[in-house]
Copies of this chain bind each other. A is one copy, B any other.
Amino acid sequence: MSSTPERLIETTRELLWERGYVGTSPKAIQQRSGVGQGSMYHHFDGKPDLALAAITRSAEERLTTAEALFGGPGTATERIAGYLRGERDVLKGCPIGGLTQDPEVMGDPALRRPVEETFSTLRARIAGLLGEGVARGEFGAGLDPVTTASTVVAVLQGGYVLARAADSVEPFTEAVDGVLDLLAAHAPAAK
């Protein structure tokens, strides 16, 4: 049995993912969650307040999932490949990345913060992994961990865009395979 606020947050997460912030109405949240209007406004100040709770949770979940992989065993290449290939619901897009398209989210500093932090944390974490990889001789010394980390995250986010445009997972898979091949070709052993 989940509590009323809990059901509201989870429903809002779903709707934000499917329809974005502008496309998600309080009424839709109430109907899908089965929570009444008065009840919703009792627990949350309004749509922005509820959205903040939902976005914050999605951001934390995203980072937790990623960290479980990054902190696990394997070479830098293996962990990054696991990150890029472990994505589900490719056609639904990224629950955090999609929000960057929403002017109301980007225009509200409170709503924007979790989005910003998610990506800055991810980029820094992957840069660290790549740096370790270079230090261990997994990649050539010429590989720049910082720019390459942004490339890796961008491929993931752009892969979602291409998949949704094509209504097919294929371009996502291609983009991921392409960047992993490029990383593999950068290995000193391949030189």
Contact = CB atoms under 8 A, between A and B. Distances in A.
A143 B181 contact: yes
Interface stretch (A32-40, A69-77, A101-109): A101-109
B119 A178 contact: no
Interface residues of A, number: 61
Nearest to A24: B22
Contacts of A179: 151, 154-155, 179, 182
A174 interface: yes
Contact of A151 (B115, B119, B140, B182): B182
Contact of A175 (B19, B147, B159, B191): B147
Interface in A118-146: 118-120, 123, 140, 142-144, 146
Q: How many copies does the complex hold?
A: 2
Given A103-B19, A119-B166, A166-B119, A153 B182 contact: no
B150 A100 contact: no
A150 to B, nearest CB: 4
Interface string A168-191: 000110111111011101100011
28 contacts: A18-B103, A19-B22, A22-B23, A97-B158, A101-B164, A106-B167, A115-B165, A119-B162, A120-B166, A147-B175, A148-B181, A151-B176, A151-B179, A153-B158, A154-B154, A154-B156, A154-B159, A154-B162, A154-B175, A157-B157, A157-B162, A158-B159, A158-B161, A179-B179, A182-B183, A185-B185, A185-B186, A186-B186
